[in-house]
A and B are shown apart, each in its own frame.
Chain A
Amino acid sequence: MDIAEVLKHTSPELFLPNLTATDKQGALAEMVEGLIAGTQISKPETIMQMLTSREALGSTAVGPGIGFPHGRTLAVQRLTIMIARSAEGVDFDSEDGNKTHLFFMLIAPPQDSGHQYIKSLAALIDRIQDGDLRDSLMAAENYESFCNAMKED
């Protein structure tokens, strides 16, 4: 899947450039709060419960320095992607023990039959392997330059 296609599921309202939380629960809560504020989605507790269960299955910080909290829930009607960043880093139980600085949170509805969100996850993970890109994303001044960096070849 094309990165531009994946980015259609996010928006400037779903970009949190400076997370304040430094622990996993706090960071998830801050992202869910941002999701509720930036969309028509309600029911934050349902989304939190799903994300917390997903982290119990295994940390979604698959790095390097990046986390992909994800899952399906009845609380959303369509795939929605939240982007968040932390200069200080969040303790997200990553396998390498390092802090997580960048998050792509993918929330999909249960009836996502074509596994669109897994394809989006795969495209993001593939794209983010580029170390120079990760530096540009951390430095990007706003949503637009973040997305432009993502789309650049």
Chain B
Amino acid sequence: MHPQLQLLVALQDLDEMINETANQGTELEGLGFKHGGLEELKKSREDLATKIEPGHLSWYKRLTGKFGHAVVPVVSNLCTGCFANIPSSFVSKTNENKVQKCESCGRLLYWP
């Protein structure tokens, strides 16, 4: 995986966790979980964001605002964001050196 994509995936997982703590926090706390480290987690999210190239980061922000999720998995050669076909050439070796975008919706593509 492209190192920048790896960071973007980690960023999205972190954003998901922060959102979940905000939205389902009460439910989770009701089960006994404590979320005392939230501020620390937000800080590590900001630290992580500084390692991402500004162009990728602004694209991530734009997509998150538009779709909720910026990075989506490719399953059975389909972008799971918009279900457009992703040519298998996208996975070829030459393409591993760049962060791939769906040509149809622009979401960042991830092969799980």
A residues at B contact (CB < 8 Å) = 41-43, 45-46, 49-50, 53-54, 56-60, 62-63, 68, 71-77, 95, 110-111, 115, 118, 121-122, 125
Contacts and interface: CB of A to CB of B under 8 A. Distances in A.
B21 interface: yes
B24 interface: yes
Given A56-B37, A59-B34, A62-B33, 9 more contacts: A41-B112, A49-B10, A56-B41, A57-B17, A60-B33, A62-B31, A74-B73, A74-B112, A77-B73
A77 to B, nearest CB: 6
A118 B16 contact: no
A58 B16 CA distance: 16
B36 interface: yes
Interface size class of B (residues with CB under 8 A): 20 to 34
Interface string B69-112: 10101010000100000000000000000000000000000101
A95 B28 CA distance: 16
A121 B21 CA distance: 15
B32 A62 contact: yes
B32 A74 contact: no
24 contacts: A43-B112, A49-B10, A49-B13, A53-B17, A54-B17, A56-B37, A56-B44, A57-B37, A58-B35, A58-B36, A71-B13, A72-B13, A73-B13, A74-B110, A74-B112, A75-B9, A75-B112, A77-B73, A95-B34, A110-B12, A110-B69, A115-B24, A122-B31, A125-B31
